[in-house]
Copies of this chain bind each other. A is one copy, B any other.
Amino acid sequence: MNYRFEIAYDGSRYEGWQRQKKTEKTIQGKIEAVLSRMEERPVEIQGAGRTDAGVHALCQTANARLDSSKEPEEIRRYLNRYLPEDIEILKVSRVDDRFHSRFGAVGKRYVYRIGTDDRKDVFRRKYLFHLGEELDTDAMQRAAARLTGTHDFRSFCGNPRMKKSTVRTITRLEVVREEHQVKLVFEGDGFLQYMIRILAGTLMEVGQHLRPAESMEEILAAMDRTAAGPTAPACGLCLERVFYPEDIRRTENKENGGGENGEG
């Protein structure tokens, strides 16, 4: 039986989502250890977004095949009981056998948070990057508009040996000024390695007037990582949501007054 998991985590203590041989400190590794204990056999779980070391998730999505006859809610409770306190299973549901968290995802929303005043903000310090400087958000928004859409994002890719296509579509890139912080909201069909953090680092430089908003086309055209800004620190980044056609259909059905919807 195929199960879908929605997961929140504070990534501060971890070497990222993806299981690694050299360390036990990965989110995937921790969840697999508890699932394997529950199932009394090795279990693999596939996550939609392979978040890097130090990156957080408000709602990561994953799936795993379990023989378990347990109810989803029972599985959720079991996992939350044995997982560390910085990983939380928000929801477990049975899904169609064809559901794959990564290949089935049609989009993701990431948020990057920048502390702009000189507050340390002791209660939120682990969930934002503290720049401690005001940013010109109008310039940043102009640059963001030039990055939205379908482009070859090779200049914003952290992997210089990337063989596959580096063309991606950003459907939303918003610069939101809030109290004490600037929030960057990224939505797109998929993101290259470090892409969001390089975009954030580049947009910060625009906001600091270190490069003009109008230079985005040049950076894209350069097809060269060194043309873009620095990779912004991991702690400011959070995977907020993963989008699936199934969820969108379900929402549309609800909005049209549609009734119950089978798994899909």
Contact = CB atoms under 8 A, between A and B. Distances in A.
Contact of A88 (B8, B9, B119): B119
A97 interface: no
Interface in A123-146: 123, 125, 127
B122 A87 contact: yes
A87 B119 CA distance: 11
A80 B122 contact: no
A41 interface: no
How many chain copies? 2
Interface residues of A, number: 19
A38 B247 CA distance: 58
A86 interface: yes
Contact of A121 (B88, B122, B127): B88
A13 to B, nearest CB: 11
Nearest to A119: B88
A120 B10 contact: no
Rank and list the top 7 A-B pairs by shortest CB-CB distance, nearest first: A88-B120, A10-B122, A88-B122, A8-B122, A86-B122, A85-B125, A9-B122
